[in-house]
Amino acid sequence: MNSTRKVLLALVVLVSLAGCDTENQPAEPIRIRVPMGYVANVQFAPWYVAVERGYFADEGIEIEFDYSWETNGVRLVGAGELPFAVASGDQVLLARAQGLPVVTVANWWRRFPVAVITLESSGISDVGDLAGRIVGIPETFGASYIGWRALGNAVGIDDEDVQLEVIGYNQVAALVEGLVDAAVVYANNEPIQLKHKDYDVVTFAVADYANLVSNGIITNEDTIRDNPELIEAFIRAFVKGLSDTLADPDAAFEICRGYVEGLDANETVQRAVLEATLQYWQGERLCWSDLETWEETATVTLRAGLLSAAVNAEECFSNDYLP
């Protein structure tokens, strides 16, 4: 064999080996930024568990949590700039009414968490007692307002029957200082804080009066069409984290320490918040959506004047990607 042929053969062997080495290397993970719609919190425990235990990594996904208030996750997903975000059912309805093709593919919160609360000392013991009282609400849009309107519709109270005041997310202080008689809150949060301050609280849970869609994972119709495997992988990883959190909330809380600042200083309350939240995620099948709940949410949103036209509830969700 002459020297030229030897060199060529050596080059072929080197190229072949290089090819084999490349084939054996793991593929680069898909990096996905997920708008969460809220600050880092123990209520995101299933996400933290799924990341820490490698469930997303096993699916070839790397997660970046986006807690920014300025990030409009629904708009970004609807425009195809991001594949996923956390969003509530009313946001999906409003987006689709505006032509944004977003779809809930995992109904994470199976029970609607909004409630109206009052201190026992207010003398309010029935929802009907709210008439003529000052009711504080974070804003007159979004899940809090939808929940308030659903409760009002169920018992025959309109906005005009109360003094509805926008107070932001200062419900605990507003109640304690007597600035409002009642407040629209999240039942798994503010009541816990008040009870740990030794206040007796009366709670009117919206879910006891109406079935509404709460927070879930949304995607867009382009991703559904072009990359359903990514949706399945993403939801599969999340549901594993959710299942683990429900099975062992203490371990999930410990994982939260690496993601949520200030847990050590407020551990008792935050543990109680996580424990209170578990019931809102539970269901016979995790993350399942049902048409009846979506239809009721659409009806309430339309009656509240937040939708300019009716939206087809069947197009708002899919259970096809659940494990």
Region 295-308: what's the mean pLDDT? Answer: 91
Amino acid 241: pLDDT: 98
Q: Please tell me which residue, 81 or 26, carries the higher pLDDT value.
A: 81
Amino acid 10: pLDDT: 42
The CA distance from 25 to 175, in Å, is 59
In this model, does residue 211 exceed pLDDT 80? yes
The confidence band for 108, taking pLDDT boundaries of 50, 70 and 90, is: very high
Place of tokens 């203490």: 250
Query: How does the average pLDDT of the chain come out, rounded?
Result: 92
Amino acid 195: pLDDT: 95
In this model, does residue 29 exceed pLDDT 60? yes
The confidence band for 70, taking pLDDT boundaries of 50, 70 and 90, is: low
The CA distance from 264 to 247, in Å, is 23
In this model, does residue 22 exceed pLDDT 50? no
Domains of the chain as residue ranges with CATH: 30-111+213-315 (3.40.190.10), 114-208 (3.40.190.10)
The CA distance from 69 to 19, in Å, is 46
Dihedral sign of CA atoms 162, 166, 167, 172 in order:
positive
pLDDT above 70: percentage of residues in the chain = 91
- Give the tens place of pLDDT for each residue, 153-207: 999 999 999 999 999 999 999 999 999 999 999 999 999 999 999 999 999 999 9
Amino acid 25: pLDDT: 58
Q: Are 201 and 172 a contacting pair, CB within 8 Å?
A: no
One DSSP character per residue, 253-264 reads: HHHHTTTSTTTT
The CA distance from 159 to 6, in Å, is 88
Phi, psi of 96 (to 5 degrees): -65, -30
